[in-house]
Amino acid sequence: MKLTIVLTGTIRPQVKGGAWSVDEREKMYLSTLKYYSEKIGYKYPIVFVENSDVNICHWGGLFASSLNLEILQYPPYNIENSDFDNSQGKGYNEFLMIKKAMLTSKYLSESTHFLKITGRYPMINIIDIIKEIEKRAEDKVFFGDIKDTRIYDWIGIKNTDSGHWGDSRFFMADVDFYKRNIIDCYKEMNDYNGHNAENFIYNLSKKYRNDPRFIHRYRTQVRFDGVCGLVTDSFSESYNSPKARIKGQIRQCLRYLFPNIWF
């Protein structure tokens, strides 16, 4: 397995729901890259893919001595990027951006697999996640993290999506398989009519649930740092707060104790 990490980012978002200024978002992405430079260094190639008009040409120099970094940027004012569509929401544009990277990245052309991670939040336990990928997924074409349980329905939680969900923040895929079968998935996404990236990942797992080339659940509970938030409700919460860490520890125990119950 030759694994490349793909980080997706939008420093100046054009869709609804962004909670941070351009300067704040840029600092978040730079902080994530700095974290990976300390954790990963040159061990794994990293492709940072971005689709706004913010000038990040100097980033390559900032990390030249600490990361094996390829930066791909698709400014919306270039005619070749006219297929970005803000009316479809962030999932559509993120996975379109991944398609462009798959077709143009030097690092991805030299890789057998890639680990896609949202770029704004550092994955704290990225080494553990990569170790699991390398141990379990050498011959796999997709390794996602799925929640699929009716427990929430039984205890009266009314949100019907709460127990049936795919994590779009990270997943691993075989490069060739992705190009042949998944690369145009963005065309199925629209955040504003319920067809978001999480639903796509979940439905992909249902389609290939019995395919031995797929793994649908990590044994490692992923941990992110950073702060999430939405303008719509003025709410923000740290992914690494004491409360979040306790939840993470509980979820990790549940993965060990009940590996076949995906909640």
Distances (CA, A) of 168 to 8, 65, 129, 154: 11, 30, 15, 25
pLDDT surpassing 90 at residue 16: no
Q: Given the structure tokens 């993470």, which residue do they identify?
A: 248
- CA 97 – CA 92 distance, rounded (Å): 9
Least confident of 169-183, 218-232, 238-252: 218-232
Q: Which two tokens stand for residue 27?
A: 């600092």
pLDDT surpassing 90 at residue 119: yes
- CA 184 – CA 217 distance, rounded (Å): 23
pLDDT tens per residue across span 24-72: 999 999 999 999 999 999 999 999 999 999 999 999 999 999 999 999 9
pLDDT tens per residue across span 200-229: 999 999 999 999 999 999 999 999 997 765
Q: Give the H or E element holding residue 103.
A: helix 90-104
Res 15: pLDDT: 67
Asked if 162 and 236 touch (Cβ cutoff 8 Å), the reply is no
Res 156: pLDDT: 64
Question: What are the φ/ψ torsions at residue 7 (nearest 5 degrees)?
Answer: -105, 130
Is the whole-model pTM more than 0.85?
A: yes
Res 238: pLDDT: 76
Average pLDDT over residues 229-247: 67
pLDDT surpassing 90 at residue 164: no
Say how many C-beta atoms besides its own lie within 10 A of residue 62's C-beta: 15
Any residues with CB less than 8 A from the CB of 90 and at least 6 apart, and which?
Answer: 10, 13, 15, 17, 191
pLDDT tens per residue across span 92-105: 999 999 999 999 99
pLDDT tens per residue across span 246-260: 998 999 999 999 998
pLDDT surpassing 60 at residue 143: yes
